[in-house]
A and B are shown apart, each in its own frame.
Chain A
Amino acid sequence: MADAPLVQLENVVKTYRMGDVEVHALRGVSMTIEHGEFTAIMGASGSGKSTLMNILGCLDRPSSGHYLLEGQEVSQLPVERLAEVRNRTIGFVFQSFNLLSRTSALENVELPLLYGGVGTSERHQRASESLERVGLADRADHHPNQMSGGQQQRVAIARALVTRPRVILADEPTGNLDSRTSVEVMALFQELGRAGITVVLVTHEQDISQYAARVVVMRDGKVLSDLRQAPRRAEPPAPEARTAVEEVVP
Chain B
Amino acid sequence: MSWLQTLRVALRALTRNKMRSFLTTLGMVIGVSAVIAMVAIGDGAKARVEAAFAAMGSNMLIVLPGTSTAGGAMGGFGSNPTLTWDDLKAIQTEIPTVRAAAPQLRSNAQVMSEDQNWTTQVFGTTPEYFQIRTWPIAHGALFSQSDVDGGTKVAVIGQTVADKLYGANSNPVGQVIRVKNVPFVIAGVLAKKGQSQWGQDYDDIVIAPVSTFQQKIQGGLKNVIAGSIAVSATGPDATARAENQIRGLLRDRHRLQQGADDDFSIRNLSEIANAQQEGTRTLTTLLAAIAAVSLLVGGIGIMNIMLVSVTERTREIGLRMAVGAKPADIRLQFLVEALALAVMGGLIGVGLGLAGAWRLATSFGWEVLYRPDIILIAVGFSGLVGVVFGLYPAHKASRLDPIQALRFE
Contact = CB atoms under 8 A, between A and B. Distances in A.
A19 to B, nearest CB: 16
A54 B402 CA distance: 10
A103 B9 CA distance: 11
Interface string B300-319: 00000000000000011011
Contact of A83 (B318, B319, B325): B325
Contacts of B12: 103
Given A114-B5, A115-B1, A100 B319 contact: yes
Contact of B322 (A79, A84, A86, A102): A86
Contacts of A102: 16
Contact of A80 (B1, B315, B326): B326
Contacts of A60: 403
Contact of B406 (A83, A98, A100, A114): A98
B74 interface: no
A98 B324 contact: no
Given A98-B315, A115-B1, A117-B1, A80 B320 contact: no
Nearest to A100: B316
A166 interface: no
A115 B324 contact: yes
Nearest to A86: B324
A92 interface: yes
Contacts of B329: 115
Contacts of B324: 83-84, 86-88, 112, 115-116, 163
B73 interface: no
A115 B328 contact: no
A195 B27 CA distance: 56
A115 B320 contact: yes
Contacts of B323: 86-87, 92, 111-112, 115, 159, 163
A85 to B, nearest CB: 9
Could you say which of A88, A94, A100, A117 has the most chain B C-beta atoms within 10 Å of its C-beta? A100
Interface string B390-409: 00000000000011001000
Interface in A107-135: 111-112, 114-117
B321 interface: yes
**Is chain B's interface secondary structure helix, strand, loop, or mixed overall?**
helix
Contacts of A88: 324
B172 interface: no
B327 A54 contact: no
Interface string B322-360: 111111110000000000000000000000000000000
A145 B72 CA distance: 99
Given A94-B406, A100-B316, A115 B325 contact: yes
Nearest to A84: B324
Contacts of A59: 321-322, 402-403
Contacts of B402: 59
A151 to B, nearest CB: 18
Contact of B327 (A79, A117, A163): A79
A62 interface: no
Contacts of A98: 315, 318-319, 322, 406
A80 B328 contact: yes
A159 B331 CA distance: 23
A211 B65 CA distance: 115
Nearest to A91: B323
Interface in B13-30: 16
Given A86-B324, A115-B325, A115-B329, A54 B319 contact: no
A57 interface: yes
Contacts of B328: 80
B310 to A, nearest CB: 16
A92 B320 CA distance: 11
A214 B16 CA distance: 44
Contacts of A103: 12
Nearest to A123: B5
Given A102-B16, A111-B320, A114-B5, A83 B315 contact: no
A58 to B, nearest CB: 9
Given A59-B402, A86-B322, A92-B322, A80 B316 contact: no
Nearest to B329: A115
Nearest to B318: A98
Contacts of B325: 83, 115
Could you say which of A57, A59, A92, A159 has the most chain B C-beta atoms within 10 Å of its C-beta? A59
Nearest to B6: A114
Nearest to A120: B5
Interface in A65-111: 79-80, 83-84, 86-88, 92, 94, 98, 100, 102-103, 111
20 contacts: A54-B403, A59-B321, A79-B327, A80-B326, A83-B321, A83-B325, A86-B321, A86-B324, A92-B323, A98-B315, A98-B319, A100-B319, A111-B319, A111-B320, A112-B323, A114-B1, A114-B9, A116-B324, A117-B2, A163-B323
Given A86-B322, A86-B324, 12 more contacts: A60-B403, A79-B327, A80-B327, A80-B328, A83-B327, A84-B326, A92-B323, A98-B319, A98-B406, A111-B323, A114-B5, A163-B324
Interface of B: 1-2, 5, 9, 12, 16, 315-316, 318-329, 402-403, 406
Interface of A: 54, 57, 59-60, 79-80, 83-84, 86-88, 92, 94, 98, 100, 102-103, 111-112, 114-117, 159, 163
Q: Which 8 A-B residue pairs are closest in the complex by CB-CB distance? A: A87-B324, A115-B324, A112-B323, A83-B326, A98-B319, A115-B325, A80-B326, A59-B402
